[in-house]
Structures are given as structure tokens and as C-alpha cells.
Amino acid sequence: MSVLFEVVSMLGRRIRITRSYWGVISSKKHPSVANMANEARLALIYPFEVRGSRQDSNVFLYYRKLNSKFLCTVAKHLNDEGFIVTVYTTYKIKRGEVLWKKS
């Protein structure tokens, strides 16, 4: 599998995504993010806010501000590593514990 990118997130976890899985996200799950792979990467490194998922304690939502919207990169953490679950745009940040916020 060819890795599209791998970064160390704001929370210190190594997060990766393969080219093939990015294809699934950008063509089937959320086509509106098709040209936003770099923004998804930047959301992990320089987020506006990071929240914990209310459903899964191993899932974290990294938000990046995009004009009037937010880009949310959802990552699952396993030990010190992790992977991207999905990426989408939204007008509203989901509820959940705020783990980090840009000041």
C-alpha cells in the first residue's frame, strides 16, 4: 500500500493514510474534500481545535478553519500511531471533550 502522507499530529501521534483509502474518502464518502488532502494533513499538525469522540475513546476530531466552514479530519489512535477514518467539511464543531484549542 502506498502511503499518501504520514505526520505527527498535534497530540503527538503518528497518523497516516494510504492513497487508496484517500480515494475512497474523496470519491465515495465525501467528494467535496477531493482536492483537500493537504488541508486534511494540516488539520492534524496545526488544528484550530481537537476534540475527543463521544462514541469511541480512541477517535479524535481535528478541526481546521476554512473561511466559513471547518475541515474535520477524524483519526483513530492506537498506541502511539493512528490512521485517518474520514475527512469532511462542516459548519459546526461536534460536541465532545476539547483536548486542544488554538489560542
Query: What is the predicted pLDDT for the residue at 61?
Result: 99
Residue 79: inside a domain, yes or no? yes
pLDDT of residue 60: 98
Instruction: Tell me the pTM.
Output: 0.95
The confidence score (pLDDT) of residue 90 equals 98
Q: Please give the pLDDT value at position 82.
A: 96
Q: What is the pLDDT of residue 1?
A: 77
Q: Is residue 21 part of a domain?
A: yes
Do residues 22 and 3 make contact, with C-beta atoms less than 8 angstroms apart? no
Query: For position 20, what pLDDT does the model report?
Result: 98
Whether 15 is in a domain gets the answer yes
Q: Low-confidence residues of the chain, pLDDT below 50? A: none
Cell triple for 9: 499530529
Residue-range definition of the domain harbouring residue 79: 3-95
User: Within a domain: residue 100?
Assistant: no
> Which residue, 63, 22, 14, 58, is CA-closest to 42?
63
